[in-house]
Structure 1
Amino acid sequence: MCLIAFAWHVHPRWRLLLAGNRDEFHARPSAPLARWNDEPILGGRDLEAGGTWLGVTEKGRCCVVTNVRDPRDPQHGTSRGLLATDYLVGSDDATAHAQKLLRTAAEYRPFNLLTFDATRGFYIGNRPQSRAQAIEPGIHGLSNADFNTPWPKTRALMERLRAWMDAGNADDFVPLFDALADERQAPDDVLPDTGVGLERERWLSSAFIRGEQYGTRASTIVAIGHDGKGRIVERRFGPAGHFEGESELAISQDAFQPSGKRPSR
């Protein structure tokens, strides 16, 4: 996932409201949003590495991972593909998980990770150096750079999320999906320089990326209430931005299991 905006503990209904796009090569096999049979995860699934880019659990945990865009940084180290899955199925809360991951973060390929439990949220990254940062209440953004780096599309999505909150309709996610579908490119004078060249910087500057080989594969909304109940909605896209379907799952504390136990299969 390459573009995220989220509101953390500032909405009257949703303790976490997250909107994000996953950008990936269209040839990479992926399964759509679903309840996994082998793990207590609700999310899409990367069928190549087995992990997820965004997932939630019925216990109100949520995790999102992005890579870091820098072609000058060699992709050496442990795969980041299972970072989100490891957090979601683990027993550590967000604080303990961040403290432990920080010890080994440098061993992974470049990554950004957002983790949330019922009360705390953390950003963990390993570029330019490893660090963990507690997420304060507010509206935040993340793309393929450091946390809250003001890339134009990140700022724009944060502003659209703030406008959605101000409008006061907590159940209408259409304006957020519209924001994720925005294909307007940023002016050249505000583009970042990440080493990919001006033409590619322009192409990657829109919220929604349309391409035959690479582009936006999924747009996802996660809404988790202060009571732990909520929804996760995913829209999927193929080459050239072709719409391929939409899925929605309920998040309910009714499905909570005692600590340390997995749901029956």
Structure 2
Amino acid sequence: MCVAALAWQVSEKFPLVAIGNRDEFHDRPTTALSRWEDDAGIIAGRDEGAGGTWLGVSKLGQFVLLTNFRDPENVTIGPVSRGKLVEQILRGEEPKQIEDMNAFNVVQANLSRARFLSNRGKAQWQELSSGIHGVSNGPLDRPWPKTLQLGGVLERWIEEGTGEIEPLFTALRAETPEPSAEQPIDAPQPEYAPVFIRNPVYGTRSSSVVIVNNDGRGLIAERSFDASAAVTGEKKVEFTWPQV
């Protein structure tokens, strides 16, 4: 996943809302969103090439998403899959072998806590405050145009309060970056950094929306795309988290 936004404890009605796009090679084998047959009750897509997933929820009351951290000078061939990290956390396990993985960002949230982990810099969990957080392929809450764009969408969606997910999917399909007055010097050039990447080799494979209301009832939805950026399927799965 290459861009995501999380609204945590912003809305009284929907204390957790997350949206994001997974960008990946189109020929990488992938299973669409489904319930995994395991004790953790994981609901997620699956990377059939290296195992694990990029975003999901579990019956343990956990939501986890992963983005790659752009660090081209330190990419290692054949490390432990970063997708395994998401699976571990969804199962209630502490992350393992993070020093053997290429650079990543991970966000974990439930109804009482949200936190962030990266193996760039000091590899330890950071607690997140209530609010809207954006993450792409750089540091958390770095004001890249596409993270600001999605954060603004979440803010407006919460204000409208309809609960309809289609506007969120529409926002995830944006192929033109909104203009930004300020950009950090490490931000990718705007023409290469829209929310939705249309590319026949490496582009947006799927868009995801997760909404959890204040009594723990939630919905995770995924829309998939092919190499021509055409929609190939959509899955929606309802779930219930334990009360905290």
Partner of 1:211: 199
Do the aligned partners of 1:3 and 1:143 also contact (CA within 8 Å) in 2? Answer: yes
Partner of 1:260: none
Cα deviation digits, residues 70-129 of structure 1 (max 9, x gap): 212233653312000001112x5xxxx4xxx4x964342211011123411110001144
1:89 correspondence with 2:81: no
1:15 correspondence with 2:15: yes
Q: Secondary structure at the match of 1:14?
A: coil
When residues 108 and 139 of structure 1 are mapped into structure 2, their CA distance, relative to the original with a 3 A threshold, is: same
Partner of 1:259: none
Matches of 1:104 and 1:29 in 2, distance apart? 24
Partner of 2:146: 153
As a proportion of its length, which structure holds more helix? Answer: 1
When residues 63 and 74 of structure 1 are mapped into structure 2, their CA distance, relative to the original with a 3 A threshold, is: same
Do the aligned partners of 1:25 and 1:215 also contact (CA within 8 Å) in 2? Answer: yes
Matches of 1:189 and 1:164 in 2, distance apart? 23
Partner of 1:238: 226
Aligned-residue identity in percent: 38
Structure 1 residue runs without a partner (length 5+): 257-265
Larger Rg: 1
1:166 correspondence with 2:159: yes
Partner of 2:59: 58
Partner of 1:35: 35
Cα deviation digits, residues 161-199 of structure 1 (max 9, x gap): 1111111212x111111110100036698666659xx7x
Matches of 1:186 and 1:128 in 2, distance apart? 30
The total of aligned residue pairs comes to: 240
Cα deviation digits, residues 235-255 of structure 1 (max 9, x gap): 0001021110111000124xx
Letter in 2 for 1:175: P
Report the TM-score when normalising by structure 1: 0.83
Do the aligned partners of 1:75 and 1:110 also contact (CA within 8 Å) in 2? Answer: no
Mapping of residues 216-231 of structure 1, within 5 Å: 216-231=204-219
Partner of 1:74: 75
Matches of 2:178 and 2:121 in 1, distance apart? 25
Partner of 1:114: 107
Matches of 1:214 and 1:104 in 2, distance apart? 27
Matches of 2:158 and 2:178 in 1, distance apart? 24
Partner of 1:126: 119
Do the aligned partners of 2:224 and 2:231 also contact (CA within 8 Å) in 1? Answer: yes
Matches of 1:149 and 1:181 in 2, distance apart? 21
Do the aligned partners of 1:217 and 1:236 also contact (CA within 8 Å) in 2? Answer: yes
Runs of 4+ in 1 over 3 A off after TM superposition: 103-107, 185-195, 201-204
Matches of 2:237 and 2:21 in 1, distance apart? 18
Cα deviation digits, residues 120-150 of structure 1 (max 9, x gap): 1110001144242101111110001111011
Report the TM-score when normalising by structure 2: 0.90
Residue number among 248, 252, 259 corresponding to 2:236 in the alignment: 248
Q: Secondary structure at the match of 1:72?
A: helix
Give the superposed CA RMSD. Answer: 2.2
Do the aligned partners of 2:145 and 2:180 also contact (CA within 8 Å) in 1? Answer: no
